[in-house]
Structure 1
Amino acid sequence: MAVFSIQKLTIGFLNVSFLALLTACGGGSTMTDNNGDGDGDSGNSINWTQGVFQPSNNFYQQCQALNEKHWLRSWSNETYLWYDEIIDRDPALTPAVNEYFKLLKTKQITESGANKDNFHSSLPTAQWKAQSQSGVTLGYGFKVKLISPTAPRQGVITYTEPNSPASAQNLARGFEVLEIDGVDFINANSQAEVDTLNAGLYPTKVGKSTSFVFKDINTDETREVILNSQTITSRPVTNVKTLADGSVGYFQFNNHNAIAEKPLYDAFNSLKASNVTDLIIDIRYNGGGFLQMASQVAYMIAGSANTNGKIFEKTIFNDQHPIFNPIDGKRLEPVMFTDEFVGFADNPALVAGTPLPSLNLKRVYLLTTSSTCSASEAIMNGLRGADIEVIQIGSGTCGKPYGFYPTDNCDITYFSIQFTGENNKGFSEYSDGFAPQNTTDNARLPVRIAGCAIADDFSHQLGDPNEALLAAALNYRETQSCPSATSIASKQGFAPARYSDTPAVQNTGAVNLAEQNKILPKQ
């Protein structure tokens, strides 16, 4: 049975070994809130001296602005993976709490020139709970891939959720965005126009009515539809089927959230009953989530004989915490390959401890894109550490061997990188992602593994054996060969993204960033 078991997500900061009394640091700036107006710390002076930190617990859940900023400063110094790369600034000099939080990250870049930390974000706690526990987000029920976020833009629907406004209008994968609320999506170049595009694509309230014009890339037919935003419950596991005369299993896995555990259990049970000898998992849009769920998936692929006694991922915190976990105070223990049902959801469908099925495979085919991130990459790295052959079909992954504990303070949940992860062989260096061996993009420095570089194919539905990535996986299984390497620029006439001085379409709500992580909940 699994050595390491996480019961379920619990939002909240754990008060562990931070019991020192409040003491004045001396020097620096001082703010006092003696009149209760909310801009200080309710009557106590908070002194700041560069490089001197009070315990974060002294400020926890004290919801005046200065206290919140001092909590963020001390908490980051205690737990941020690159704490010694943060420029220590006086919290009193940055008015807004969220703006101060944005400063509490490294500014370093990787060897390939990318930002070292692209995943620093926050969400209202209520929104985060809904997203991670129930798979609930606000929108229309379609996911859009921004092939180029600046003019000339391309945005294409990747898939739609059932029983959503999008599916009710028969929108589907391969519909390209042309207009939003009368604004030209492709060529808009003013900030006001782009604000309209962002507001349309990423609504912030239920009932927002938005006009879209789409083009079907297969027929060039254009359609105008009006969609009303609502809360959307995602289906994290879909398209469970067998291919190649029943010997190959396939399913689409979109998110490591709490409600995915039972569908994953059912999918593997179904494929085991079908006696599949190979497996293709479509994780091209899976940005991550629960790390232990990734270990469950890896176990269900490989089985006990291939994983017994092996580490799935060893979590490593900053150099202040070599032995004990700074979040819960416990001795550091690795995440093993999890062979049982954990019960992530508030009302789990099975009793925790129920044994998981497994296919006992020595290889797996994974369909990936740049949206494949974090916990999804952990599946790849964990299996490789256990000598399971991972064959990658698609494009390079996002590159995130890091993770965090979502931490609430004053009704905001913060996502700040706190640990990195090594597999059973001690490997963790994939900050530029994993990429198929024949990838032609030399702008990054990914870890290259067996497989085929294939551009995402929007002209076929996911799960269609003729869709380019799935077809390449099936062909590789038979021939161990790849078609010519392709990139986005060579498919459907899309132009490669290039520098532009026009504003970018982007999800400013940070929902996507929050999903692109490995999450460790409280044990």
Structure 2
Amino acid sequence: MKAYTYSSVALAVTISLLAGCGGGSGSSNTPPVVTTPTTPTTPVTTEPEWEAGVYEPQSQYLAKCETPRSGIDPFTNRAYPDTQGTAMDEKLWLRTWTNDTYLWYDEVDDNDPANFSVLGYFDQLKTNELTPSGTPKDNFHFSQDTAEYNELSQSGISSGYGFDWEFGSTTVPRVLTVRFTEPGSPAATAGVPRGATLSRINGVDFVNDNTQQGVNAINAALFPEDAGTVTSFEFVQVDGSTLSVDITSGDISVTPVQNAKVLDTENGKTGYFQFNTFIVTAQEGLIDAFDMFVEENVTELVIDLRYNGGGRLALASQLSYMIAGPNQTNNATFETLRFNDKNPNTNPVTGETIRPTPFYRNVIDYNAGQLTDTLLPSLSLTKVYVLATGATCSASEAVMNALRGIDVEVVQIGSTTCGKPYGFYPTDNCGETYFTIQFQGVNNKGFGDYADGFMPTTTPNFDFELPGCEVEDDFTASLGDPNEGMLSAALEYAATGSCPEVVTSNGVADVKALRSNQSALGGEKLIPIDKPEQRKENFILHNKINQPVIQERK
């Protein structure tokens, strides 16, 4: 699972602020001495040394920064804890923090930090082992500027145009498809539809330009540094027509819950909603959707998690309760966290005794990190349909796993999920928030082994295989349209108990082909463009809360 203060979670440490002083004395009887003016210098800071296999306490290096922040942190209303230190202090804190809290700490090479930058050193503080399928065990190791992370995780505000992209290929011939646009965003206002593929940007051939100059121009246009940047886009729409629009970048408000509706189907009233991210602003949208479902007496529910990369586990717990209701969740565990073998009973981040996370049945005051007395709406369903893809991750998978742990049948429509039964506590040090895998989550039955993802199949044989259908992501129809491929397959499965005979048609996107590695073609060296997960300013993080501490998981 992938995990989620909710500003950032940091260890409680008392920092002593040392005040430097200096001065001089003179005598009126001493003749003046002419000196050359000098520039004030920063006090000399002694750099600590690395010793292989020796790990000093985190507190020895925490908040000792090469470039300390000053003033008040707007997200905590407290002074920044930073004091003057060195890059080596920052690296040695990362090293000890990893050794103390990383789930696979004993699989991390103890390399000399002097050979790396701070972020470069962090990048290699992870396991190099593989999953049973041969993919990297840890694909979820990253960091982000703390101020940017706090802004997005707390308010749902990010910078850009409002596109959610499907990166088919980042090398020529490139494929970049619009999954959807955020409501009210510049992209939505410009009328760019789902399924449109980018052909030109600021006059550059997006598909075929393989020059470094062209790639730099593409990246600068796709990921503008500032709001107010005007960019010219040219798209090819699903019907083959061209759409040319100028779009101005801005601050984008993320709408986590979209397209909530009740469909009249052969199998009765079916609720549907698109859920994109488990951030705190999602709680209100989820409550509104389930209030509608309860009022309309829906008997089936389709949750569209195909692009939901995760977020706060507390929200995942709340959503699971709203699906299953009070009777099925009573005295049951939503999830239990398992940390490294140094910490079988104690959370190494908080120092608290490890306690299972329940199914939260109440509204949560996320600002205070407390449960309220207000009960959530619920449907008490025994079966739910989940639309999922490889972008379905972390807290989304936690919902699927938790429901299966209390015998709610989860029917999976789409493709294999990303496989993240792990989580982390985002931890700030010196203005960078670090995410390193610190725990694995298991459900009420003790299951959490889905590192290669949940897989839909007509004949499940393993706990990570779910009943359901493999269906391509259909970019020819709007999300929430009953004729859209994945939703249509879910509705047919609900009516017949089986998958449709044909799950693809002309125009349905072949996700596997879109994601193929174009560099395997050989010949000219292909220069890849950036992707959001490679850029701190565009990577959307998701959080979670675990009683009694607000955490995060993704």
Residue 405 of structure 1 aligns with which residue? 425
Deviation (angstroms), 1:303: 0.7
Residue 233 of structure 1 aligns with which residue? 253
Any conservation in 2 of the 1:373–1:516 contact (CA below 8 Å)?
no
Residue 302 of structure 1 aligns with which residue? 324
Query: Could you give the per-residue CA deviations for residues 386-423 of structure 1, whole angstroms, max 9, x where no partner exists?
Result: 10000011111111111101111111111111111111
Percentage identity across aligned positions? Answer: 46
Deviation (angstroms), 1:17: 12
Residue 526 of structure 2 aligns with which residue? 502
Residue 490 of structure 2 aligns with which residue? 473
Residue 180 of structure 1 aligns with which residue? 201
SS at match of 1:342: strand
Residue 387 of structure 1 aligns with which residue? 407
Query: Could you give the per-residue CA deviations for residues 317-346 of structure 1, whole angstroms, max 9, x where no partner exists?
Result: 111111111111110001111111112257
Q: Does 1:60 align with 2:62?
A: yes
Any conservation in 2 of the 1:281–1:366 contact (CA below 8 Å)?
yes
Residue 457 of structure 1 aligns with which residue? 474
Q: 1:262 aligns with which of 284, 302, 327?
A: 284
Deviation (angstroms), 1:191: 3.5
Structure 1, 125-134 or 237-246: larger mean CA deviation: 237-246
Residues 437-456 of structure 1: pairs in structure 2 closer than 5 A: 437-438=457-458, 447-456=464-473
Q: 2:215 aligns with which of 183, 194, 206?
A: 194
Aligned length, in residue pairs: 492
What runs of 5+ residues in structure 1 fail to find an aligned partner? 1-5, 20-34
Q: Does 1:9 align with 2:6?
A: yes
Any conservation in 2 of the 1:180–1:210 contact (CA below 8 Å)?
yes
Residue 22 of structure 1 aligns with which residue? none
Q: Which amino acid aligns with 1:509?
A: R
Any conservation in 2 of the 1:404–1:519 contact (CA below 8 Å)?
no
TM-score between both structures, scaled by the size of structure 1: 0.88
Q: Does 1:128 align with 2:185?
A: no
Deviation (angstroms), 1:37: 5.3
Residue 434 of structure 2 aligns with which residue? 414
Deviation (angstroms), 1:228: 1.6
Residue 362 of structure 1 aligns with which residue? 382
After the TM superposition, which segments of 4 or more aligned residues of structure 1 sit over 3 Å from their partners?
A: 16-19, 35-38, 42-45, 484-490, 492-496, 510-514, 516-523
Q: Does 1:483 align with 2:500?
A: yes
SS at match of 2:374: coil
Q: Does 1:90 align with 2:109?
A: no
Once residues 315 and 137 of structure 1 are traced to their aligned partners in structure 2, the CA distance between those partners, rounded to angstroms, is: 30
TM-score between both structures, scaled by the size of structure 2: 0.83
Q: Which amino acid aligns with 1:113?
A: G
Any conservation in 2 of the 1:435–1:446 contact (CA below 8 Å)?
no
Once residues 7 and 77 of structure 1 are traced to their aligned partners in structure 2, the CA distance between those partners, rounded to angstroms, is: 20
Residue 432 of structure 1 aligns with which residue? 452
Change in CA separation of 1:453 and 1:510 when aligned onto 2, cut-off 3 Å: farther
Residue 156 of structure 1 aligns with which residue? 177
Deviation (angstroms), 1:157: 0.5
SS at match of 2:179: strand
Residue 284 of structure 1 aligns with which residue? 306
Indicate the structure whose relative CO is greater, using CA pairs within 8 Å and at least 6 residues apart.
2
Once residues 79 and 489 of structure 1 are traced to their aligned partners in structure 2, the CA distance between those partners, rounded to angstroms, is: 49
Structure 1, 76-85 or 485-494: larger mean CA deviation: 485-494
Query: Could you give the per-residue CA deviations for residues 36-69 of structure 1, whole angstroms, max 9, x where no partner exists?
Result: 759xxx5345121111101112111111212111
Q: Which amino acid aligns with 1:61?
A: A
Q: Which amino acid aligns with 2:527?
A: P
What runs of 5+ residues in structure 2 fail to find an aligned partner? 17-39, 67-86, 520-524
Q: Which amino acid aligns with 1:227?
A: I
Once residues 191 and 244 of structure 2 are traced to their aligned partners in structure 1, the CA distance between those partners, rounded to angstroms, is: 12
